[in-house]
Amino acid sequence: MKKLVEINNVVKAFGSFQALRGVSLDINEGEVVCIIGPSGSGKSTLLRCINHLETVDGGLIKVADNVIGYRLTGSVLHELPDREIAQQRAQIGMVFQQYNLFPHKTVTENIVEGPIIVRRKDPAESRAKAKELLQQVGLAEKADYYPGQLSGGQQQRVAIARALAMEPRLILFDEPTSALDPELVGEVLQVMRRLAASGMTMIVVTHEISFAREAADRVVFMDGGQIVEEGTADELISNPRNERTREFLSAVRA
Amino acid sequence: MNTISATKPTGAPISASPYVVAKHIPYARYVISAALIVALALIAHAFAVGQIQWLVVRQYLFDSAIMNGMINTIILTFFSMVAGIALGLASALMTDSQNPLMRSVSSGYRFFFRSIPILLQLLIWYNLALVFPRIVVPGIASFETTQVITPFVAALLAFGISQGAYTSEVIRSGLLSVGRGQVEAAKSIGMTRGATLRRIVLPQAMRVIVPPLGNETIGMLKYTSLASIIQYQDIVYSTQTIYYANGLVIEMLIVCAFWYLLVVATLSYFQSKIEKHYNKSNQTHSSRVENSVEKAG
Ligand SMILES: Nc1ncnc2c1ncn2[C@@H]1O[C@H](COP(=O)(O)OP(=O)(O)OP(=O)(O)O)[C@@H](O)[C@H]1O
Ligand SMILES: [Mg+2]
């Protein structure tokens, strides 16, 4: 197994509040890791550090052996210029809780924006590829709709297609189903399950314990800005060793 | 929209009820309409029998001096707005920058040029030669200030720079209307800051920016008439030049007003076109329902 993501002792504060207190985590290529934990435990912050939507105060994040967001000289990190950070982000997909589709662009335009503008791919080719991706997420007939004309579940599936269009090494999901009506959660999880089965490397922050149990190779429990416990889905969800993990799981299940 | 009748299943029986709603007769509306018609007729009559030589109005409507004046008015309006929008965008971006010096410069700029009456600004720029007789670019060139600051240049500086101070707020509120999530989504697919601004943020901000900017363009068209006091030959200047010579004051003013009406009407037409353009893609869930009902109906 080849290591794809290397998170090494990452520290992050907002003002005087310590959101991440030394988080370390390695993720292999093709692995699906679910991060669970109570609200405010730093799950989103960790995810956002991985594609440098947040700066870090200390520690190191590497994706495919490249230090994200910084140039390392000796032991000092210097933030990279905007253009280089953008190039790094192009390899890391992200799916947001609120979908964040571009409302002024059609579904197809949303998907081809990255390939055409960032990767400078041929527009016709990109559109053909977008059509394929839309088929994969079951939305072929919505190609020319605007996001505002779609349900939440459909929008989130478009958002996944938009991330996939960049052919990323890795996709980050931040509570992709939390904003959805209960009856729409299934369709999004199904797309994610298929993606996981296809070998995509995924880091998923979620409250869907059953999804974690089914799809995750590994589950990480965070609390208070730290990783409290990690293990295979079975180990962590069925036999949590840590007291806080147990409390959290029983609260979620209740 | 005809939503109700369109969604009603066709041919469904409507049960007869013994209760009938009385037809509403809007008496008040009739009375007000009648009063308005009488008032308008009286005004029209007054102008028809007043001391106005309508033939002269017609004769001067397409006079070349008038037309030139109108063209100068449009040119000054156009370039003032272009300068205003460029400065406004720069000032808006500076206001939201991380650099405290940039923020203060930007807010100082807005305070200063919004506080001084535009007429005063015109006079200051036009009389710049009194303070700086020569404009010197060290080592490159040196000009007589009076040669450089023509009435057009003075007016452009005054209108463009003060417009920028107002436009800055308009553009800023537009930029702020676009959620942070949009910027993050753009970043997450690898877009640079510039591309994010150009392709994601600005197009969405336009929906908020265009309506007030359209009004300001129309306002600018009229404000430029102030430049006639520093000898800029706009349409008001041409109008006055003609009536000083022929003494037909009201006739010439009517000609002038006609052209303003025409240009403002044209601008309003394009404004609504542009607004429609920026709104079309922002369809909501409800408009989808309406559209599908219309198609079905
Ligand atoms: N931009 C910010 N400024 C200040 N504080 C922040 C910021 N972003 C996050 N925080 C704080 O950092 C802590 C961790 O936030 P984070 O969003 O990572 O939590 P989370 O585990 O994702 O929670 P949730 O399940 O509610 O999404 C929270 O206490 C939050 O208030
Ligand atoms: Mg979160």
> pLDDT digit string (tens) for A205-232?
999 999 999 999 999 999 999 999 999 9
In eight-state DSSP terms, residue B161 is H
Angle at B13 between CA B12 and CA B17, to 5 degrees: 140
Burial (CB count <10 Å: 0-12, 13-18, 19+), residue A29: middle
CB neighbours (10 Å) of residue B64? 8
Which of B157, B202, B175 has its CA nearest to residue B95?
B175
Beta carbons within 10 angstroms of residue B255's beta carbon: 24
pLDDT at B293: 38
Q: What is the dihedral of CA A111, A114, A117, A118, to 10 degrees?
A: -160
pLDDT for res B2: 43
pLDDT digits (tens, 9 = 90+) for A110-157: 999 999 999 999 999 999 999 999 999 999 999 999 999 999 999 999
Cβ atoms within 10 A of the Cβ of A14, count? 11
pLDDT at position B282 is 58
Q: What is the mean pLDDT of residues A51-75?
A: 94
Q: What is the pLDDT of residue B259?
A: 96
Q: Which run of H or of E encompasses B125?
A: helix B118-126
Q: What is the pLDDT of residue A166?
A: 97
Ligand 1 atom having least distance to the Cα of A47: 18
User: Distance between CA B161 and CA A182 in Å, rounded?
Assistant: 54
Q: For residue A53, give the chain B residue with the closest CA.
A: B184
For the segment A223-245, the average pLDDT, to the nearest whole number, is 94
Q: Which backbone phi and psi does A234 adopt, to 5 degrees? A: -65, -50
C-alpha–C-alpha distance, residues A94 and B185, integer Å: 8
**ipTM score:** 0.94
Do B188 and A82 count as a contact with CB atoms less than 8 A apart?
no
Where residue A253 falls among pLDDT bands split at 50, 70, 90?
Answer: confident
Q: Specify the pTM.
A: 0.82
Is pLDDT at A22 greater than 90 in this prediction? yes
Chain A partners within 8 Å of B197 (Cβ): none
- Nearest C-alpha of chain A: how many angstroms from B139? 35
Q: Point out the residue among B185, B193, B287 whose CB comes nearest to the CB of A82.
A: B193
In this prediction, residue B288 carries a pLDDT of 43
How high is the pLDDT of residue B48? Answer: 82
The residue to mutate among A10, A34, A35, A41, having the most atoms of ligand 1 within 8 angstroms of its beta carbon, is A41
Residue ranges of chain B with pLDDT lower than 50? 1-8, 284-297
What's the 3-state SS for A94-128? EECCCCCCCCCCCHHHHHHHHHHHHCCCCHHHHHH
Burial B5-36 (b: 16+ CB within 10 A, else e): eeeeeeeeeeeeeeeeeeeeeeeeeeeeeeee
CA of B185 vs chain A CAs: smallest distance (Å): 6
Summary mean pLDDT of chain A: 95
Q: State in Å: Cα A206 to ligand 2 middle.
A: 9
- B203 interaction partners in chain A (CB closer than 8 Å): 104
Enter the tokens of residue B154: 């003075």
Query: Which H or E element spans position A71?
Result: strand A70-73
Going by C-alpha positions, the residue among B218, B264, B268, B260 that lies closest to residue B239 is B260
Select from 1.10.760.10, 1.10.3720.10, 1.20.58.220, 1.20.1250.20 the CATH code of B77-231: 1.10.3720.10
Q: How far apart are CA B80 and CA B125, in angstroms?
A: 14
Look at residue A200 and give its three-state secondary structure. coil
The ligand placed nearest to the CA atom of residue A45 is 1
| Interface size between A and B, measured as CB pairs under 8 A | 86
Quick check: A86 contacting B, CB < 8 Å? Answer: yes
Ligand 1: residues within 6 Å at CB? A 14, 17, 19, 37, 39-45
The per-residue pLDDT for B21 is 87
Whether chain B has a CB inside 8 Å of the CB on A148: the answer is yes
CA A46–ligand 2 middle distance (angstroms): 9
CB contact under 8 A, A89 and B189: yes
Report CA(A111)–ligand 1 centroid distance (Å): 29
Which of the 8 DSSP states describes residue A169? S
| Backbone CA torsion sign across B116, B118, B120, B124 | positive
The interface residues of chain A toward chain B in range 24-43, judged by CB-CB distance below 8 A, are: none
Q: How far is A153 from chain B (nearest CA, A)?
A: 14
Q: What percentage of chain A reaches a pLDDT higher than 90?
A: 95
A90/B200 touch (CB, cutoff 8 Å), yes or no: no
